[in-house]
């Protein structure tokens, strides 16, 4: 391996030469305690910046082993190291170093959640930290002095300050310890959900609303969450000790309330409760079962060989709905497909909001049934199946309902949002259902549970061009996969992650596999070997963050060229 001093000599040789000569610097450099890798050199100062990586052995970084020997803690540690690195970058003003991105150093941004990112990874014997740096130039002329300053002054400061635990000051260590403790507590809380058969838990004092529709930061001066007494649950966490909050039991929970009283905000918090939030977010102790899926209407999505016959039958064009494909689904068929596919990934908690649902999928009233007879209506509403989906198949629902009163008759629990306060109104709801004689009108009947027999053929793809755009689109060669309605996709980097995982599937899958089984296998591997194994070392697009299996599955289902077949 080169030593870092060699780089000084190499730089001298290419000073003031043409930018392309920077390519000769690619490689690994021994810097004593750590190694600097130059993994990819940009083609010109305006191109996306060069990719670099610090690598440091376990014995040198010195982070206590108990911080990274469980997955949950490791993610918290990686998150803290990344936040510190970003903090250093913010503080260091390097001024302008030349044209384009000259001298600019950046890495993966962090948000309100702790996620698996490949920017910082701890493994059995080392830690790696990835970042980008614009190699400096004037026009296309190499500026070796500036590059020297970056490599011999700025990078060492970053490395010393972030990679070595001994250089973390007392306050930073405290913050790190707190993040590790929080990770433990969140894990314990999630285990408690399973043990107590809860679908979700919302802690007293939690701050659910966000600053704005485009910000994930907590709203200031929000009304803090307070649990209704009847559902108040006390949970003891290893570090924080006893906390109380609302335990939403498995079953069918309906959230009602007037417009603008906070219904969707509560549901959103549950959607995002599949992720762990950082200290100060307000949702630290708001968790839902990890397989929770938001189910909404999504007109225009494509569907590939999905059995939606549970909800849709006898289409006017005679199409077989046990093996349903379309390039352009309607509101109800898209929502049916979304629901069935969620079950196919093994989700047993579905979250719906009347605001984003197809009305005819949710409900059909008696007046309409008189005019349009049942045999002319392809849709069987969710209302008809919901009791047996729960009672016979263990699928829980949390549904926000503003106007479809019939849902009260199928609910196990009814919550009312009233000026952002949560009230348990189950008894009142039950009394009204009796008065209106609608109790028990949708009993758990027989239903034919869909058969999940879809398989994915290996693609014949060679190299694919992948690109991610915000949290909206994954581009695979020129084919756009629309993921904007996957509302639980919560970080730009996850879309990048989807692009790489899709790429992996399309280029590495060897044999025909059941779709859900294939994904289970991939996520098993990720758990064992880390997400990094699925991202090529010379990755070139954004900062990959691990999406959930559910969103990868959803992405695959929306990829019109996926070779999905029904067995």
Q: Which residues, 390 to 449, sit near ligand ADP by CB under 6 A?
A: 417, 420
In sequence order, the 6+-apart residues with CB closer than 8 A to the CB of 453 are 514, 566, 567
* Alpha-carbon span 458 to 464, nearest angstrom: 14
Binding to Mg ion by residue 436, rule CB under 5 A? no
- Closest distance to Mg ion from the beta carbon of 387 (Å): 25
Identified binder of ligand ADP from the candidate list 98, 136, 209, 273, rule CB under 6 A: 209
Query: Taking a C-beta distance cutoff of 8 angstroms, is the pair 211, 220 a contact?
Result: yes
Q: In this structure, are residues 397 and 252 in contact, taking their beta carbons and an 8 Å threshold?
A: yes
215 binds ligand ADP, rule: CB under 6 A:
no
CB atoms near residue 350 (< 10 Å): 24
Binding mask 353-372 for Mg ion (x = CB under 5 A): --x-----------------
Is 262 within 8 Å of 209 (Cβ atoms)?
yes
Give the distance, in angstroms, between the CA of residue 492 and the centroid of all CA atoms in the same chain. Answer: 9
Number of residues binding to Mg ion, judged by CB under 5 A:
2
CA distance 490 to 420: 24
Q: Does 257 bind ligand ADP (CB under 6 A)?
A: yes
The piece of 83-91, 256-264, 269-277, 507-515 that touches Mg ion (CB under 5 A) is 256-264
Measured from the CB atom, is 248 or 522 closer to ligand ADP?
A: 248
What is the rounded CA–CA span in Å between residue 12 and residue 144?
A: 7
Helix (H, G, I), strand (E, B) or coil at 431: helix
Closest CA to 450 of 356, 274, 322: 322
**Given the complex with ligand ADP, which of 130 and 261 has the nearer CB atom?**
261
| Neighbour count for residue 563 (Cβ, 10 Å) | 15
Footprint on residues 261-320 left by Mg ion (CB under 5 A): 264
In the bound complex, what is the minimum distance in angstroms from residue 353's beta carbon to ligand ADP?
A: 7
Task: Kindly state whether residue 261 participates in binding ligand ADP, applying the rule CB under 6 A.
Answer: yes
Residue 481, H or E segment: strand 479-482
CB within 8 Å of 516: residues ≥ 6 apart: 344, 345, 346, 452, 553
262 binds, among ligand ADP, Mg ion, none (CB under 5 to 8 A by kind): ligand ADP
Residues 371-400 that bind ligand ADP (CB under 6 A): none
Binding of residue 222 to ligand ADP (CB under 6 A): yes
Q: Is 302 in the site for ligand ADP (CB under 6 A)?
A: no
Q: Which stretch binds ligand ADP (CB under 6 A): 95-103, 111-119, 257-265, 300-308?
A: 257-265
Q: In the complex with Mg ion, which residue's Cβ is closer, 355 or 479?
A: 355
Alpha-carbon span 407 to 34, nearest angstrom: 61
Residues that bind Mg ion (CB under 5 A): 264, 355
Residues that bind ligand ADP (CB under 6 A): 208-209, 219, 222-223, 257, 259-265, 417, 420
């Amino acid at each position: 391996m080169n030593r870092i001093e060699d780089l000084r000599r190499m730089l001298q040789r290419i000073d003031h030469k043409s930018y392309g000569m920077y390519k000769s610097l690619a490689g690994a450099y021994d810097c004593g305690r750590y190694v600097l890798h130059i993994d990819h050199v940009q083609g010109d100062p305006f191109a996306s910046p060069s990719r670099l990586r610090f690598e440091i052995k376990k014995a040198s970084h010195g982070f206590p082993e108990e911080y990274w020997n469980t997955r949950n803690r490791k993610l918290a540690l990686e998150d803290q190291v990344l936040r510190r690195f970003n903090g250093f970058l913010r503080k260091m003003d390097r001024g302008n170093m030349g044209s384009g991105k000259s001298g600019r150093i950046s890495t993966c941004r962090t948000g309100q959640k702790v996620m698996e990112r490949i920017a910082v990874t701890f493994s059995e014997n080392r830690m790696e930290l990835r970042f980008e740096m614009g190699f400096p130039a004037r026009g296309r002329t190499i500026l070796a002095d500036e590059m020297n300053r970056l490599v011999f002054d700025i990078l060492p400061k970053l490395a010393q300050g972030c990679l070595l635990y001994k250089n973390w000051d007392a306050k930073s260590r405290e913050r790190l310890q707190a993040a590790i403790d929080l990770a433990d507590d969140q894990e314990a809380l999630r285990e408690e959900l399973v043990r107590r058969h809860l679908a979700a838990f919302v802690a007293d004092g939690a701050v659910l609303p966000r600053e704005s529709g485009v910000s994930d930061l907590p709203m200031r001066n929000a009304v803090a969450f307070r649990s209704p007494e009847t559902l108040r649950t006390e949970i003891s966490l290893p570090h924080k000790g006893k906390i109380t909050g609302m335990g939403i039991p498995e079953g069918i929970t309906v959230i009602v309330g007037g417009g603008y009283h906070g219904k969707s905000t509560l549901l959103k918090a549950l959607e995002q409760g599949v992720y762990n939030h950082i200290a100060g977010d307000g949702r630290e102790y708001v968790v839902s079962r990890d397989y929770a899926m938001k189910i909404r209407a999504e007109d225009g999505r494509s569907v590939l060989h999905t059995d939606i016959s549970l909800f849709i039958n006898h289409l006017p064009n005679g199409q077989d709905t046990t093996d349903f494909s379309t390039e352009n689904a309607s509101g109800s068929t898209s929502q049916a497909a979304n629901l069935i596919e969620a079950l196919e990934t093994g989700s047993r908690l579905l979250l719906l909001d009347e605001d984003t649902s197809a009305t005819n999928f949710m409900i059909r009233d008696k007046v309409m049934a008189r005019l349009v007879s049942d045999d002319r209506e392809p849709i069987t509403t969710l209302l008809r199946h919901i009791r047996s989906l729960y009672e016979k198949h263990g699928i829980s629902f949390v549904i926000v309902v503003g106007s479809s009163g019939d849902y009260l008759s199928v609910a196990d629990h009814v919550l009312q949002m009233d000026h952002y306060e949560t009230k348990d109104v189950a008894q009142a709801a039950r009394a009204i259902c009796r008065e209106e004689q609608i109790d028990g009108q949708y009993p758990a009947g027989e239903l034919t549970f869909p058969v999940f027999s879809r398989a994915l053929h290996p693609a014949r793809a060679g190299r694919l061009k992948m690109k991610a755009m915000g949290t909206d689109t994954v581009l695979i060669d020129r084919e756009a996969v629309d993921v904007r309605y996957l509302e639980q996709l919560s970080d730009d980097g996850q879309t990048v992650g989807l692009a790489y995982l899709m790429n992996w599937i399309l280029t590495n899958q060897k044999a025909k596999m059941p779709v859900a089984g294939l994904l289970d296998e991939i996520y098993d591997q990720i758990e064992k070997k880390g997400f990094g194994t699925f991202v090529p070392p010379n990755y070139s697009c954004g900062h990959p963050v691990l999406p959930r299996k559910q969103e990868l599955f959803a992405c695959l289902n929306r990829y019109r060229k996926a070779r999905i077949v029904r067995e």
